[in-house]
Structure formats: structure tokens, C-alpha cells
């Protein structure tokens, strides 16, 4: 009898030890999160950084952020991920430069047992913990459709593209092609397409050259982001052209683009930098702190009915797009203050 009792106690001890070892870990001190941005020059990325530091958990000291500038180089981002892992960060959020080259960040984080959240741009893998993005195919479609409709359904367009190999360039391009395909074959002609690397400064001379090369033939300008669309507007104005003669669209909803919408110069499809970043922080914290964590950002209320928290366990969260209009421009600008 004593032998059986001892065996029962031993078995119970093993079960209890197993249960304790598999309980959700408690976290002492602030949660350390590394945010790997592909580059810090563009306003949109700066808006993402601002949203990160405005996150309630960061303000309270619950979260300790380290923001890395990837300098528009995927290899730099991969090296920064190694640094973040080596220095004991609890989670990594990456805004990747390259659709394929930055898969290494996900691989390294998974090997280290660290949650990795992909935000804004996408990676050619499904091995990340989660991604908090906006559907770039839909964004490209919305801007392509806006330009074509403003042209009356036919005409010649030029396309200013993002960095080659990035998911934004690839998927927004797919969306633009989808919009074009809805019209009769040959009704929309692409005269030129070239990368300007998300840069207003790079887009300006490219557009100046195209204006000379295709004098009087360009009807529409599709910039895969606002900065490049704004560069095209500068080129038109600097060469004595009338912006109202062109249908122009971009993506992001940066401040200058919203003002340009108010002035009737372009269409902008706003990508919610705050929603992407604060959503990523909420999801990262859920995976670090466990099921008792409740989201701290108000974006889930903002997009109620369009965006579900799902206990922070969805594989992908799509932050909705907003078409900037003359009617909503002032309200969107007010949110920047």
C-alpha cells in the first residue's frame, strides 16, 4: 500500500511540474521590442515611428522600444535583427525593405523563439508570427481606378514605381494592372514605368524627362506612393505645365498629399501608419505576455466592424485604406496635430 501511495505522489509531482513548466511565463520589467524600419527619410515611415512612441504601453514604460534605421538596405536590416536577438529583445517588428531578402529576419527570430511581426510591407513567407499590413493590391487598384476614371476611361499613363523587389512595388503594380484590365484592351496605354524608390527628389527629374519625351501625350500619372506623385506634380509645374491637365494619384496620405488633394491636384489613398504600427505593438505584446493581455491601442474601436482583434492570434491583420477627399482632408490633417 505504501509503495502504491508513493508512486501516486511521484506521478502527481511529475504532472504538477509539467503544468508549471508549460504555464504562460510572467514577464519582469519592461517588454523590449525592436522595430526594424527599412529607412527613416520618408514622412510615412516617420509617422509610423511617431505612432510607436505614442503607443500607451511605451508612454507608461511597459514597453521599451529600440527603433532601427535600415538605411534602405535589406542586409542592414538582417544584421539589425541579429543585434536585436543578441541583446535580448522580446519581440521584433519589421517593416521590410525586400520581399525575399528579409525572410532571414523571420528565420532568425523563429530560431530564437522570438515573436516577429511584419508590418506595412510584406515578406514572401508565412512563417512570421503575424503581419499587420494594408492590402497593397487593393491600394494599387484604388489609385489606378481613380486615375483611369479621371481620364474618362481611356488615355496614356506613366507609372512611378517603388524600389524593385519590395512587396509594395510588386503588389501595388498588380493592383494597377487589375484596374487597367477592367477597361477595353488598348484603351489605357502605359507609356513609361520606372522606379523612383519612393522618393520625391528622384521622381522629379524622371517626370521632367518623360514630359519632354512624350510632349502632350501623358494623361495620367500613377505614383505608387505620394512622394513620387508629388515629385511628378513639381515637375509639371516647374516646366510650365498645368496640373489640372493630368489625372494624378498616389498612396499613403502624407501631409503634402492631403494638401494637394484639397487643392484639386491629385488623389491620395491614405495608408494608416498609426494603425499598422500600434496594431503591430498590440499583437507583439499579446504573443509575449499571453492571453491575459488586452490591446492598448484604440485602433480596434476605430475600425470596429472592419478589423477584429481575435485575441491577437490572427495570422494577418489588414488595416483598411481611406480615400482622401476634399470633404475629409481637414479631419485627417487634424489627426496629425
pLDDT in tens, 89-99: 999 999 999 99
Strand partners, 221: 158, 248
pLDDT at 187: 97
Domains of the chain: 31-134+273-319 (3.40.50.2300), 136-270 (3.40.50.2300)
Cβ contacts of 73 within 8 Å, gap of 6 or more: 97
**Residue 328 burial (10 A CB sphere; 0-12, 13-18, 19+):** middle
Comparing CA positions, the residue from 301, 305, 226 lying closest to residue 271 is: 226
Give the number of residues written for the chain.
Answer: 337
In whole angstroms, what is the distance from residue 156 CA to residue 154 CA? Answer: 7
Q: Are strands 267-270 and 322-324 parallel, antiparallel or unpaired?
A: antiparallel
User: Nine-digit cell at 110?
Assistant: 523563429
In whole angstroms, what is the distance from residue 67 CA to residue 65 CA? Answer: 6
pLDDT at 100: 96
Comparing CA positions, the residue from 224, 229, 312 lying closest to residue 271 is: 224
The vertex-195 CA angle with 48 and 160, nearest 5°, equals: 80
The alpha carbon of 254 is separated from its chain's Cα centroid by a whole number of angstroms, namely 13
pLDDT at 28: 80
| Residues 81, 92 contacting (CB under 8 angstroms) | yes
3-state secondary structure at position 68: strand
User: Nine-digit cell at 253?
Assistant: 496620405
Helices 167-181 + 136-150 axis angle, to 10: 40
Q: Structure pTM?
A: 0.87
Strand order in the sheet with 316-318: 63-69, 31-37, 91-94, 116-120, 130-133, 316-318
3-state secondary structure at position 206: helix
Given a cut of 50, the residues of the chain with pLDDT beneath it are 1-25
Produce one character per residue of 58-82: b if its CB has 16 or more CB atoms within 10 Å, e if not. Answer: beeebbebeebbbebbbebbbebbe
Amino acid at each position: 500500500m505504501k509503495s502504491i501511495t508513493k508512486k501516486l505522489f511521484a506521478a502527481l509531482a511529475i504532472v504538477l511540474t509539467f503544468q508549471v513548466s508549460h504555464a504562460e511565463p510572467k514577464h519582469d520589467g519592461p517588454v523590449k521590442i525592436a522595430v526594424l524600419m527599412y529607412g527613416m527619410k520618408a514622412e510615412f515611415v516617420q509617422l509610423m515611428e511617431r505612432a510607436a512612441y505614442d503607443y500607451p504601453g511605451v508612454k507608461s514604460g511597459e514597453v521599451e522600444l529600440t527603433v532601427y534605421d535600415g538605411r534602405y538596405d535589406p542586409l542592414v536590416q538582417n544584421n539589425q535583427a541579429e543585434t536585436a536577438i543578441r541583446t535580448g529583445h522580446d519581440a521584433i517588428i519589421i517593416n521590410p525593405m525586400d520581399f525575399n531578402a528579409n525572410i532571414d529576419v523571420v528565420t532568425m527570430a523563429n530560431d530564437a523563439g522570438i515573436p516577429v511581426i511584419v508590418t506595412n510591407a510584406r515578406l514572401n513567407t508565412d512563417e512570421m508570427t503575424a503581419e499587420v499590413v494594408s492590402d497593397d493590391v487593393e491600394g494599387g487598384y484604388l489609385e489606378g481606378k481613380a486615375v483611369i476614371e479621371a481620364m474618362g476611361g481611356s488615355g496614356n499613363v506613366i507609372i512611378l514605381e517603388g524600389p524593385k523587389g519590395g512587396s509594395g512595388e510588386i503588389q501595388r503594380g498588380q493592383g494597377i494592372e487589375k484596374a487597367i484590365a477592367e477597361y477595353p484592351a488598348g484603351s489605357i496605354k502605359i507609356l513609361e514605368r520606372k522606379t523612383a524608390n519612393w522618393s520625391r527628389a528622384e521622381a522629379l527629374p524622371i517626370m521632367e524627362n518623360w514630359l519632354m519625351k512624350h510632349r502632350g501625350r501623358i494623361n495620367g500619372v500613377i505614383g505608387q506612393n505620394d512622394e513620387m506623385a508629388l515629385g511628378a506634380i513639381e515637375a509639371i509645374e516647374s516646366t510650365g505645365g498645368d496640373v489640372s491637365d493630368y489625372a494624378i494619384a498616389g498612396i499613403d496620405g502624407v501631409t503634402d498629399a492631403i494638401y494637394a488633394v484639397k487643392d484639386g491636384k491629385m488623389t491620395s489613398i491614405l495608408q494608416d501608419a498609426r494603425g499598422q504600427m500600434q496594431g503591430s505593438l498590440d499583437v507583439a505584446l499579446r504573443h509575449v505576455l499571453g492571453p491575459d493581455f488586452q490591446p492598448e491601442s484604440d485602433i480596434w474601436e476605430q475600425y470596429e466592424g472592419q478589423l477584429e482583434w481575435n485575441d491577437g492570434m490572427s495570422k494577418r491583420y489588414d488595416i483598411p485604406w481611406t480615400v482622401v477627399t476634399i470633404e475629409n482632408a481637414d479631419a485627417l490633417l487634424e489627426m496629425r496635430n
